[in-house]
Structure 1
Amino acid sequence: MIFKRHRRLRGSDALRDLVRETYLQTSDLIYPLFIKEDIEEKQEVTSMPGVYQFPLNLLLIEVEEIVNLGIKSVILFGIPKEKDEIGSQASDVQGIVQRAIRLIKEAYPQLLVIADTCLCEFTSHGHCGLLKSDQVDNDSSLARLAEVAVSQARAGADIIAPSNAMDGFVYVIRQALDEAGFQNIPIMSYAIKFASSFYGPFRDAGESAPAFGNRKTYQMDPANRLEALREARSDEEEGADFLMVKPALAFLDIIRDLRGQTQLPIVAYNVSGEYAMIKAASQQGWIDEKSVVLETLLGIKRAGADLIITYFAKDLVRYLKEEE
């Protein structure tokens, strides 16, 4: 028997490019933006170097850079000045997210604006739904979340992205959008959202840490694979147009399994903790940031993701331009 010479296909840059199976493209990327009321200057998130909370008056400067880089999609997270038990500002016509959507769409109508639909950044208790006693009540939360989604659509959001992890949220939001005349607004469901320790830096950026307890009664146990696939199947049946897996790196197997189950576009969220670890190691000189970012995002894409939400989006575009 003659052994196989696999190295024949690795002999030069041109040859490696010829047989490359997986590619990263600018159009794969969705860039998260944090908009905060009651600040006048952008504020760097301590646990996420290079990520900022923006005031409305400086938002378009950041968006202009994003557009000029060729990034076609952003997802918005808002931090209101005032919070209450039901997250009133999340659905207010003058809420921070609604104002940001209108501002962006007026200046850059071609940019795809995705609205994260949740209550955790807007509630005084920091949970993703309404409380009954000290528990998050699923069904009353659904009606409230539907109000938020419709408000975001009215403001001009191109895609509604519910991240609240309530049972039935896709069905209720789809029904509410249709009844309000937004039949053509897609839903990007956070279909598989694990109760992950990788979210810590995001809670700094979004100022959304729960005031008590945790989110394990509504976000998924990281140990469960089959449950994840059941969750995704339910959301697809209820009318989701995209299915998301969050986080990405510790759950590449879930992305791969989901790719075999659905024909819908799959979105992977390369979350804050994943970003922060690479940044921290890079700042210590322990890794080469560019190489690790490229390898990380390629791995997510290779696992089966069509789109990636990542805080590295701007960096990645610059890396890709360097390699052209």
Structure 2
Amino acid sequence: MASYRIALNFEDGVTRFVECNEGEKVLDAAFRNKINLPMDCSDGVCGTCKCRAESGAYDLGDDFIDDALTADEAANGLVLTCQMKPSSDCVIAVPTTSGACKTGQQKLTATVAGVVAHNDVAIVLEFDVEAAAAPAFLPGQYVNIGVPGSGQSRSYSFSSAPGEQRIGFLIKKIPGGLMSTWLERAEVGTKLELTGPLGSFYLREVQRPLLFLAGGTGLAPFLSMLEVLAQSNSQQKVHLIYGVTRDLDLVLVDEIEAYTKRLANFTYNTVVAEEASSHPRKGWVTQHMPPEALNGGNVDVYLCGPPAMVDAVRKYFDDNGVTPNSFHYEKFTPNAVVREAA
């Protein structure tokens, strides 16, 4: 029997994945996995189970009344989970918290497979997981990684694609930082606990050109997105602008370059802010944003970088009358991640 993977995204940033069998209703699949999605009647009458389907194919069902789900709501992606039957993998936004649905974050034990420093700016941390435990997440999401012996964790975005047995993270190297200090002595084979996936910054269904804006180690989620696009043989135009402060901060450029051969319509530019740099493109990403990448506003923009970069790009759009079809962004600071989506 066919089954489909359904991502349930809750308001508090928690994502849970459930398998929904052919012909099974999403509400029933969630209950089977001990996730109590909102409901009162389960008969398509009250509308309590109304959610938004962000991607995927499905049957809305026939056993509901217009007061529970109007034609306009259905046209805008709203569904009743007590009636919805998926016919593909789907992403569903649930308008309540994971706690209210009596579920929580998933935990995964992973084994350190490699720790590679890149100049003095970043560390690539890789883990191995068993095939049965390969993490499900949406490209762009993050996990909390427990730092051994500290009782604390740090948040990092996946740089690898979902479902892989070797998972990767690009971590900013911070002198004296909790994770950075531990990584200096980390040994291959050490087991760490990962909690997640989390976050509302993730690649939506691709229906138009994409503009990716990465600041520093904010490159990580875009590597995950690019791998997913390459694996699906996407034909949409994708342009990445990767901005850093110093020449030495440009890391994993070879990996980015490799996608120009694997992804049909992928292009990218690197930008260095430091005036003393000899880089051909100096300044800020807003100074090197080609008009064709904005496609007259018919573009989905994704931005991951420090708060000042996010604010600068928003101001640039406002000052220049640019209104992208959608604009998804994530602000981060070295020791914490501020999740803010639009």
Same fold (TM over 0.5): no
Larger-Rg structure: 2
The two structures have a TM-score, normalised by structure 2, of 0.29
TM-score (norm 1): 0.30
